[in-house]
Amino acid sequence: MTTPTERPIAVARAVTCALAGYGVFALHDALIKSLVGYSVFQIVFFAVLFSYVPFSFSLAADPQQRNLRPVHPGWVMLRTGCMVASIALAFFAFRSLPLSETYALLFATPLLITVLAIPILGEKVRLFRWLVIGLGTIGVLIVLRPGVEALKPGHVAALLAVCCSALSSVTTRRIGSVERAATLMIYPLLANIVFSGSLLWFVYVPMPFLDLAKTAAIGALAMAGQWLIISAYRAAPAAFVAPFQYSQMIWAVIYGTLWFGETPDRHVYLGAAVIILSGLLIVWRESRSGVSINRPFLRTRNVRALSAAPMRPSESDEPRMSGDDAPPDSRTPSRRRSTGRSTAPPPG
């Protein structure tokens, strides 16, 4: 618990880390878009490979994380498949669409997380959040303008990336209290390397040093961005930090205009504003006491875990819980002994 004197410092640290972290992710996405002439799978392979190497060293240094056998193999496989798909689909969307348009669609992820939490987590969603979900859906339709503009492959890829990312996030929320952090990190990394690497034989194009350095930077930026976001959530409550993800739209406009010569039309801005408003309303609603037991979005703090290892559940998807906020299976003494995690309430 922070003292009154320390609280302003913690808030300032959270704001700085959140803005810097999401700014780093925006640069990460712009670098993906700048790599033209290569298959998405080639970019994914090298980006994940460069982020896998530092993770391997950290895993080797932690003897408690070396047991990689999953407690729930089916859920782990589902999550792994979703993360593999979400990476490739998101990379393709960033390559195919203007940055601001891609972000506008990806910002719909919290809405789908809320919907999927109903069957997977047993979340009770009442009228207010259903209205917010409907509002966000209208925002997506404003961006896509069906019947007026042709639906492009990039649009389909972005929407499928939202579905895969949301399902992965909710799945992590379900199993994160009993699975080891290393288990949740290593399987998606290995699956991405094996899957994209197996396709390199068919799609590989020789890369000059500068482009190869860009793929290394993509992996490094993903790791750095996650570390900054972890630091932000450690310093302040989730409801305070979560809205800062929408600052990426500012970077999207800057990079899109100055780097790629993009000029989004008013429909993209309007649709993005509606989607962002709906996301903020979800954050506000989940942060209210007694409204949401699972708080599926606030407890799934990083939906940007694409090319790097996902954050440890204890630091993102599964903050420490106590009492009625914890799911039933995580409150049993046997589960607490098996995971060795604290059941103290989260800071803030």
pLDDT at 340 exceeding the cut of 90: no
Mean pLDDT check: name the lowest of 61-65, 142-146, 207-211: 61-65
pLDDT at 331 exceeding the cut of 60: no
6-21 average pLDDT score: 86
pLDDT at 311 exceeding the cut of 90: no
Q: 327 and 123 in contact (C-beta within 8 Å)?
A: no
Compute the residue count for the chain. Answer: 348
Cα separation, 303 vs 301, whole angstroms: 6
Tens of pLDDT, residue by residue over 255-286, are: 999 999 998 888 999 999 999 999 999 888 88
pLDDT for the residue 29:
94
Mean pLDDT check: name the lowest of 61-75, 194-208, 239-253: 61-75
**pTM passes above 0.85:** no
Q: Which amino acid is at 217?
A: A
Q: How many CB atoms lie within 10 A of CB 327?
A: 17
Share of the chain above pLDDT 70, in %: 78
Residue 192: CB partners within 8 Å, gap ≥ 6?
44, 45, 48, 83, 84, 87
Element (H, E) at 94: helix 73-96
Q: Where are the domains of the chain?
A: 7-339
Residue 337: CB partners within 8 Å, gap ≥ 6?
none
